[in-house]
Chains A and B, each alone.
Chain A
Amino acid sequence: MSAETAVGGSQIAAREAIHPAWVRVTHWINAIAILVMIGSGWQIYDAAPLFEGLRFGKSISLGNWLAGALLWHFAAMWVLAINGLVYVTLGIVSGRFRRKLLPISPAQVLADAKAALSFKLSHEDISRYNAVQKLLYAGVILTGIVIVLSGLAIWKPVQLQELTVLFGGYDVARYVHFFAMAAIVGFLVVHVALALLVPKSLRAMITGR
């Protein structure tokens, strides 16, 4: 029995869905949690910037001051982590990751990237990801795991000190956490732009088909 039938509505609808309900629900919960994490994270960053010239400013960050931002950050982290755990577990157990995201061939990524840049990439069948999509999605899932773990490493450098050591210590873990955020923001820009360029992919992520 696939996870689709276990979670989705009627069997037939579930089999036809491009994205089963659990993917859509976890995807949109994740999108909201990530936006809150990034917005509040920027405010927290500003309290002790890692880079001389880089400040995000109050107008684009969340929480209004450090304490407010921390309240948001440490609330949304539960949503992000638990929802992410559900998504990754179901992705592995249901075989979705293996079917949809693997294998990723470097040659195919290059070919698809070239085709995409010359607007020759087909979006006929949105139920199958092209190699660039596979790479981006697998990459952002791994980055999501890194950002949660590096976050734990800087939140609990005593109780979870083994994890902090794994990231090269408290100071290095802060940079890892920052660059993982930057990578996710970069992904998000491309990802949202492409979703808007191919509206039927957006519809599929909302309605399932």
Chain B
Amino acid sequence: MRQRKIIPGVDPRLLIKDAAALMPEASRRGFLRGAASLGALTFLTGCDIIDGDTAEGVLRKISAFNDGAQAALFSRSKLAPTYPESAITRPFPFNAYYDEDEAPEVDGGTYKLEVAGLVDNKKPWTLEQLHALPEVSQITRHVCVEGWSAIGSWQGTPLSEFLTRIGADTRAKYVWFKCAEGYSNTIDMPTALHPQTQMTFKYDHKILPRAYGFPMKIRMPTKLGFKNPKYVVAMEVTNTDRGGYWEDQGYNWFSGL
């Protein structure tokens, strides 16, 4: 289930095609002649090249190659740096493709985490059962694909621990997460088994507030922020790459740190 046109406004790829088509041939050449600035030059090359589906195809192929390079670089024993309490960014920023007051409101009382795919036990989990799992804590840096970063404090259970409990086939390639608002992510199994990959129920030792993903978020300090899904309602252990909300729109799939 791929969702492509959810970004508010216009599909950027259509936009640039329209812009190029609207510009008459002569004025494009004129613009080229007058393009003294470096930026204008790169804009032009970009405009002409990105207009073709081939160029976008090539860029996506290189992005897939970069997935492989990052998977090769990834080490399950390499831990993300951790920080003291004093380093926590306050207030920790809310970030999503919608406003904070549009964030999903999940009813903790009726909530059940669905478990599917290559696992022995597919029994759904209530929040009470999830909260009873062993708790670990981390203070790590959340790095956004936009470039900013913030240090936060998360508590929950290691995902690897949970995968063992449900009898997941850890030779499978991926784990897919589905979120209450329709957001989704697929991650690679090595990252799912990384010791710092956490099923998070608390932020700064308090039950996750709605803004940070109540009732459950998956915290991965080894991946960019958008790869850390919030409001998770289902997970599936699978050999099929089911993509993800931003990944399907062109962001790098692996997005490791």
Q: Which residues of A contact B (CB under 8 A)?
A: 35-36, 38-40, 42, 44-45, 47-48, 56, 59-68, 70-72, 74-75, 78, 154, 156-159, 161, 170-171, 174, 185, 188
State whether A72 and B46 are in contact (beta carbons under 8 Å apart), knowing that A66-B145, A159-B78, A159-B256 are contacts in the complex: yes
* Bound complex: CA A22 to CA B21 (Å): 39
List the A side residues contacting B42 at CB < 8 Å: 35-36, 38-40, 60-62
* Bound complex: CA A60 to CA B146 (Å): 19
List the B side residues contacting A72 at CB < 8 Å: 46, 59
Question: Which residue of A is nearest B75, CB measured?
Answer: A159
Q: Which residues of B contact A (CB under 8 A)?
A: 12-13, 15-16, 37-43, 45-46, 50, 58-60, 62-63, 66, 73-75, 78-81, 141, 143-149, 221-222, 246, 249-252, 256-257
Q: How far is the CB of B147 from chain A (nearest CB, A)?
A: 4
Q: Is the CB of B62 within 8 A of A74?
A: yes
Output the residue of B13, B38, B40 with the most chain A CB within 10 A.
Answer: B38
* Bound complex: CA A104 to CA B179 (Å): 61
Output the residue of B144, B222, B256, B257 with the most chain A CB within 10 A.
Answer: B257
List the A side residues contacting B141 at CB < 8 Å: 157, 170
Q: Is the CB of A157 within 8 A of B45?
A: no
List the A side residues contacting B75 at CB < 8 Å: 159
* Bound complex: CA A111 to CA B106 (Å): 72
Q: Is the CB of B62 within 8 A of A66?
A: no
Question: Which residue of A is nearest B7, CB measured?
Answer: A65
Can you list 8 A-B contacts with CB-CB less than 8 angstroms, sorted by A residue number? A35-B45, A59-B39, A65-B12, A71-B59, A71-B62, A75-B59, A158-B257, A174-B147
Q: Is the CB of A158 within 8 A of B38?
A: no
List the A side residues contacting B39 at CB < 8 Å: 39, 42, 56, 59-61
List the B side residues contacting A45 at CB < 8 Å: 147
Given A64-B50, A159-B73, 16 other A-B contacts at CB below 8 A? A35-B42, A36-B45, A38-B42, A44-B147, A45-B147, A47-B145, A48-B146, A63-B46, A64-B16, A68-B50, A72-B59, A75-B58, A157-B81, A158-B256, A158-B257, A159-B74
Question: Which residue of B is nearest A58, CB measured?
Answer: B43
List the B side residues contacting A35 at CB < 8 Å: 38, 41-42, 45
* Bound complex: CA A45 to CA B251 (Å): 16
State whether A47 and B146 are in contact (beta carbons under 8 Å apart), knowing that A60-B37, A159-B256, A170-B141 are contacts in the complex: yes
Q: Is the CB of B81 within 8 A of A161?
A: yes
Question: Which residue of B is nearest A171, CB measured?
Answer: B149
* Bound complex: CA A158 to CA B246 (Å): 22
Q: How far is the CB of B216 from chain A (nearest CB, A)?
A: 23
* Bound complex: CA A60 to CA B73 (Å): 34
List the B side residues contacting A71 at CB < 8 Å: 59-60, 62-63, 250, 252
List the B side residues contacting A171 at CB < 8 Å: 149
List the B side residues contacting A157 at CB < 8 Å: 81, 141, 143, 257
Q: Is the CB of B46 within 8 A of A185?
A: no
